[in-house]
Amino acid sequence: MSSFRKRLVVGLDIGQAAVKAVALTMQGKQLVLAGSGSLDTRGEGILGESELHGSIAAWVEQMGWAKEDLIIGLPQYLTTTQVSDFPAGDPAGLEEMVAFETRQLGGLSEHSLIHDYHVMAPKFGRKNPVLIGICRDSAVRETTDTLTSAGLRLAGLNMSGTAIAAAFFHLHPEAVPVEQPILLLDIGAENSTALIVAGGQILFVGSLLFGGNKVTQALARQLNRPEREVEKLKLECRLNPTDTESPLVQTARQLETELRTAVEHWRAQERPELANKMFAKVWLCGGGAKLIGLDEFLARTYGCAAEVFGPVLGDGRPPDPASVTAYGLALQGLRQAHVVISLCPPEIRWVRQRERRFGYLAAAMAALGLLLAGLMVQYYQRLGTEHAWIEKQMEELQRCQGIIPGLTDATAGIRHCERMLIPFVEKGNRAHRFLETIQALRDARGAGDWFIYLADETSYETGDGKPAPVQPSASKPSMGGLGGRPASLGDTVPPPTFGNATLVDDIPQSYSLIAAGYTPYLTEKPYEPVREIVKKLNASDLFGGVDLLPETERAGREDIFEPWLALFKTQPEKKYKAFTFRMPFAQVDVNPPQKAE
């Protein structure tokens, strides 16, 4: 597909009985219908998912859309929607809160989830309402794999429920500011989708088990004829709400029952501003909405007007309610929809975005080539000037080379002085470090928590509560300076020696502390109090990377807990959880000394 021609997007609604497609493009700021079509999968006798997708791919190529972006609808019964109200904040924080809410909605499910969300305007008592769409990652991956394997150029995988709302708001913009609830009902062959919208916002999306096939089956039983023949006669039949014995009315009552359950579920969780309001209107779409008299039946049920809606797919043609989902998907693909929630894997969206921008990349590469040619010519002209400047710099470097030995000696002296300061800095700040740590432990502990042990890591490893002795380094007697004095000619007494000297670099430095303690044992969340302490310690400026000490490093220091275990045996009714932390300092007083070269 050329990246410089107008982008065309095809919305593809894969239903149980037919595949509906609507192609849209933009001419300036005007939306233009580029084509539409329908594939009767039931009439073609297509069996199996692989055969279905193969037939769709062949049909899409026949329609001339094989290289266009396809936005495919994900059945509503595979997805979950939720309207959540979050505190106002920055977008990055909102994304984290939505991800947490997604995990909460997933509950104890072992399946990973993929989600997307749409931020709505504050309204109906909600300060920061967000519409969240969720689906199992395995279901999304399986769908995308089968579609792409069939040769379909997938550019988006959107929720069919939000596509219905997108089409409705685009076809009936006068309904967007209406703040009284509106019921949208899409009736498919095997199932239906119910939406409740108000003020341009989606408040509820639910999947119903009722489908148009139930009407076909009821007529087939009454007429004693095959369902294939009755399918064609169904569109000529009329549902009379007053004929209570009619199989159409009895079937419609099944739809009424499911709708009532869905509406009651919405009202139970909706805010009081909307929960008790009557519906302003009922709008019908989908192939099942073509049943004559169904709108009148629902109008009687809910005491409001009911109407069938759909896009006009050609001059002189009536609105087609069966193509509403496909129309909404195409709108979402062009970013012309009121609501867009895509569950397409990020890698597919990234590939399609690269393909759309490839033309711009080619043009940029050509311009870059011309620019590089000009720069090469300019660079060649500058070579002579730069050569003379380099020769001058080389002379300067040769003069500087004579200064290097002096700088080396000065650096060695600085390093020597720095190492001599290590004992003063390390020992002088140790008490202050311990006091700050005690303060931080006091601030981090919760109710019922207490600490029984605090030591530097070296003391913890030795197990005696005292710093490990510094191992002296063997050194030869000094022949001058502080190490001794040279023997004078004729002396009868040998010069004094200092034995083994301790090198400054061997003095142990404290980079972390070890703390141990107890917290009340919680049966359901035994580690939760410990996590809270770690979280608070890491939030302080004193530590960084506080964590539990591994089991292998705790072995051998059972003596820390022995007095307390003896105490606990006298109080068997109380349960406590022991913990041992390693608390690395966020900043150290002395950086590890560098060895002189």
pLDDT tens-digit readout, 455-490: 988 888 887 544 445 454 444 444 333 344 444 445
pLDDT attached to residue 233: 81
Place of tokens 């916002």: 201
- Residue pLDDT, tens place only, 84-133: 988 877 777 888 888 888 887 766 566 788 888 899 999 888 889 999 99
Let me know if the fold of 1-172+312-356 is the same as that of 174-308: yes
* Contact criterion met (CB below 8 Å) for 307 and 284: yes
Place of tokens 């700021």: 29
Give me the CATH topology for the region 174-308.
Nucleotidyltransferase; domain 5 (3.30.420)
Give the integer Cα–Cα distance in Å for 196 and 186: 12
Tell me the pTM. 0.60
- What is the second-level CATH architecture of the domain 1-172+312-356? 2-Layer Sandwich (3.30)
- Residue pLDDT, tens place only, 158-196: 999 999 999 999 999 999 999 999 999 999 989 999 999
- The domain limits of the chain are 1-172+312-356, 174-308, 407-466+499-584
Give the integer Cα–Cα distance in Å for 545 and 538: 6
Across the range 439-468, mean pLDDT stands at: 82
Token digits for 128?
A: 């920061």
Strands (E), 126-198: 129-136, 154-159, 182-187, 192-198
Across the range 310-318, mean pLDDT stands at: 91
pLDDT attached to residue 534: 93
Give the integer Cα–Cα distance in Å for 199 and 582: 55
* Contact criterion met (CB below 8 Å) for 342 and 331: no
Model confidence band, residue 594 (pLDDT cutoffs 50, 70, 90): low
Give the integer Cα–Cα distance in Å for 135 and 506: 59
